[in-house]
Structure 1
Amino acid sequence: MVVQSNTAMDLVYTWVDGADLAWQAEKERYAHEAGYFIGNRNCRWQDNEELRYSLRSVAAYWPYEGTIYIVTAGQTPAWLNTEHPRIRVVDHREIIPSDYLPTFSSTAIIARLHHIHGLRERYLYLNDDFFFLRPVQEQDFYEGESSLFYVNDKRLDDANQLSENSHSDQNGVVFSRAFMQREFGVTDAFPMPEHAPKAMQRSRMVQLEKQFPALFHDAMRGRFRRADAPIIDDLFFRWLHHLGRAQYRQNRNCYMENCVPDAAEQYAALLEGRHDALCLCINDISDDMPEAEYAPYQQQMQAFLVARFPEKSDFERD
């Protein structure tokens, strides 16, 4: 049993079921608006039930009180125990202005998470493919009044440009760096963020939006992700760091991709405890891979998740 803490922090997940026929029909209505961007490939909306196992990792390793918000497009996982006192499903309509709905853009959704009613000052923003691997401590994400932001050794300099063929995290760094240089004269080459939970501060997000409302509107503009859109969580940390309210930390997390030849070896290392990581991200890179080709990778990943997190949590229905 995890030892309870007096510190309360919320968790905020974004989740979508791309197999939902009603959702697919609505997405198809607006597909002509998407254009080309690598960030809009089909795997971005694919549900492999990662959320179920992520919540099992929360049950095992998250010692803090607080609400677990699951932000969705009017969907609810069939297995989710919505009567659990800590679970709250948040429809996009609760936090995103109707002019921007429906949206199929994680960029737009991230820009509005701090509008969740009742959200605590400290909350972690997570993707559903994040899994805690050991007991979490407050100092893993916060130090005093500062949020901690996990980065890797790669840094982006002036030569990098926004590109439709680059992933959102890289474009986000490029956008953030240009913004911080233009608005605050910050000229550092920013480190690349890791795929890890983001330690947010609600009041600071409110402050950033009040100071730069057009920035947040730009993030919501367009129903699909755009290469030139601000990635608000990335920019938030660059701005916080400028204010002296964020610190960079070298990565303590494990990132892997599911459709690579050595995935089985990586899963084995994780099951054998050869990683001392705080958090695992299994990024789905199937893109538009044919279903028959993808199925073995999907089965391999799901078998790992069952083996690593076998105990059903109270967040699941009987």
Structure 2
Amino acid sequence: MNTSGIDIVLPWVDGQDKVWQQSFRQYASQSLIGDTHAIRFRDWDLLRYWFRGIEKFMPWVNKIHFVTSGHIPEWLNLDHPQLNWVKHEDFIPGEYLPTFSANTIELNLHRIEALSEHFIYFNDDLYVLNPLKPSRFFKKGLPCDYGVMTAKPSSGGIIHMAINDLDVLDSYFDKHQQIRKYWQKWFSPNYGLKLLSNILLYPWRDFSGFVDPHLPNAFLKSTYDDVWSQATSKLHLTCRSKFRSNSDVNQWLIRYWQLAAGKFHPYNTVKDTTCVDLTDHSLLHICDQIVRQEYDIMCLNDSVEILDFKRAKNTLRRSFKEVFPQKSAFEKY
């Protein structure tokens, strides 16, 4: 496909911004359930290395849509021709604002002006450490995805949302009909031994669950339109909440919809990737993996098991600087 049409969307929160903090505290005090844990918003100061990774290893990207509530890093070069700074009010309907819920932001990405039909959704804890081709994300115009089913989710911090997503999905798709229609995608050898999961779970009446790797996900903007047109009330209810709640659906629903509709290319997206928890015990090993560029994509998940955050942050930054010693064109200084 034409690689000039693949965008990236990256949401970012500056948890240290005083205006944002004041608004957050105001609405959090009114909410029974809120994303209020400090580690969700503390800054490891690694964002510039995210941009360096994209510039060096994914130079074919068309646009990076950088989504924030209104704040930006002081060092960010807004004049870069590939960068589009998008504020929440630029694309999220006013009735949902202000929002502190990632679900609301993620479910409205298709409303970003000039967003390409083909885009990759990143988080700022996902770092590219080796060259990636467009075919890692899209083939024959379709998102590359790991269409592997699992049993019904029974653990995890957002299990309720996953179950809600599956309930919506199963109300619109006949599982057996869709798998028979796209059997080459569901029983692809690209999944390796995980193909057995699809074979064993095929007899189940409904889609029981999917492997959900924490990785950049490729999307078709038109899929968002499809889901909003079919499941309007459920998405509207989720977006009205200022914070995440157990009754929400999330962006996995969009991905699941693409899978169920057969709008994907079977691909082992988990190959050469890893997701690790940052702890005092794991930090040095993680830094070594970064320096050796052991994986193409690394997800660095924050945790409460960091006693000296400042020391850990500086250690991690030194590792990234070994891989990316030169600033990117996305940086003013």
| Alignment TM-score > 0.5, same fold | yes
Specify the SS of the correspondent of 1:298.
helix
Equivalences for residues 10-49 of structure 1 within 5 A: 10-36=7-33, 39-49=35-45
Cα distance between partner residues in 1 of 2:149 and 2:278: 22
1:136-188 deviations in whole A, cap 9, x for unaligned?
1122111223212347x89342x738xxxx423x4433222222223324313
Cα distance between partner residues in 1 of 2:128 and 2:289: 16
Give the TM-score of the pair, scaled to structure 2: 0.83
Instruction: Give the equivalent residue in structure 2 for 1:127.
Output: 123
Instruction: Give the equivalent residue in structure 2 for 1:7.
Output: 4
1:98-155 deviations in whole A, cap 9, x for unaligned?
221111111110011110001111111111111112111122111223212347x893
| Percent identical residues | 25
Q: Which runs of 5+ in 1 are unaligned?
A: none
Specify the SS of the correspondent of 1:93.
helix
- RMSD of aligned alpha carbons: 2.3
Specify the SS of the correspondent of 2:13.
coil
Q: 1:160 to 1:269 in 2, by over 3 A?
A: closer
Specify the SS of the correspondent of 2:4.
coil
Q: Which amino acid aligns with 1:69?
A: H
Specify the SS of the correspondent of 1:192.
coil
Specify the SS of the correspondent of 2:288.
helix
Cα distance between partner residues in 1 of 2:280 and 2:157: 18
Deviates more, 1:53-62 or 1:139-148: 139-148
Specify the SS of the correspondent of 2:208.
coil
How far off its partner does 1:40 sit? 4.0
Q: 1:265 to 1:63 in 2, by over 3 A?
A: same
Instruction: Give the equivalent residue in structure 2 for 1:307.
Output: 322
Does structure 1 residue 240 correspond to structure 2 residue 258?
A: yes
How far off its partner does 1:67 sit? 1.2
Cα distance between partner residues in 2 of 1:6 and 1:43: 36
Cα distance between partner residues in 2 of 1:174 and 1:304: 38
- CA contact 2:62–2:82 (8 Å) conserved in 1: yes
Q: Which has the higher strand share?
A: 1
Q: Which runs of 5+ in 2 are unaligned?
A: 176-205
Specify the SS of the correspondent of 2:60.
coil
Instruction: Give the equivalent residue in structure 1 for 2:69.
Output: 73
Instruction: Give the equivalent residue in structure 1 for 2:169.
Output: 180
Instruction: Give the equivalent residue in structure 1 for 2:302.
Output: 284
Report the number of matched residues.
300
Instruction: Give the equivalent residue in structure 2 for 1:200.
Output: 219
Q: Which amino acid aligns with 1:246?
A: F
Equivalences for residues 153-302 of structure 1 within 5 A: 155-157=150-152, 160=154, 166-168=156-158, 170-186=159-175, 187-232=206-251, 234-247=252-265, 249-250=267-268, 251-252=270-271, 253-273=273-293, 275=294, 277-286=295-304, 293-302=308-317
Specify the SS of the correspondent of 1:33.
coil
Detail structure 1 runs of 4+ shifted over 4 Å in the superposition.
none
Cα distance between partner residues in 2 of 1:228 and 1:248: 30
Give the TM-score of the pair, scaled to structure 1: 0.86
Cα distance between partner residues in 2 of 1:219 and 1:305: 37
Does structure 1 residue 111 correspond to structure 2 residue 131?
A: no
How far off its partner does 1:285 sit? 1.8
1:211-240 deviations in whole A, cap 9, x for unaligned?
2211321231211111221012x1112111
How far off its partner does 1:50 sit? 2.5
Cα distance between partner residues in 1 of 2:308 and 2:97: 34
